[in-house]
Structure 1
């Protein structure tokens, strides 16, 4: 086996480790979120809106790293579920503002149990999770900077 062969092993690819881990984490979320009637992408959308309600679609997409082709049907679905509203900005008709409904805000208290259930399902201690999250957030900032330049 040559050094080049070793470099090209699937198990040696950082991107594959992220990809596979992301898929497996989403599988862990699925049964937890099904009790709330949400998918993972719907859940992270609500997380962003619980932090900052009344934001534009562009800002929400940037926070979630989702393009408008993915975000628009997602927001339509959440709107049809009665969890949010989409309205054109009075200041600029091109901007659509996303706001939680009372039902969307109320779901936050039920979702408060999701992180603890996920952590228990992943079999990780709190300090391991915090360290891993900090490392991943640091890597995300660096990769995002590299992509932007």
Structure 2
């Protein structure tokens, strides 16, 4: 396999998963906007997979004082919202799990938490995680 092609596939392997979460949020009545996959996010020579977008719902402005809040995903921390260092206590929760956590986060301001250590390093070789991300890519391609 061409190394450049493998690097590109690795950098983009999270896109289908993040898109599936965005679709699940939209289906649940939470507006998703401004998706950015940060394809240029690198640490030295190594890619760090991450994405972020804004979400809004009926109570967002009342709870946060702003009509939308940033929701981010990284391969090290999983899903992150303001005041909540991690949403689901894992890197790749299912889209319904993310929806439930975001709904809770939009309903009431979560208590501030001390930052948690990352679940993994982007340098980790984790075939289980890659297989999980590939599942979403295969669904998107079908």
Q: Which has the higher contact order (CA 8 A, sep 6+)?
A: 2
TM-score under structure 2 length normalisation: 0.26
More strand by share: 2
The higher radius of gyration belongs to 1
TM-score under structure 1 length normalisation: 0.25
More helix by share: 1
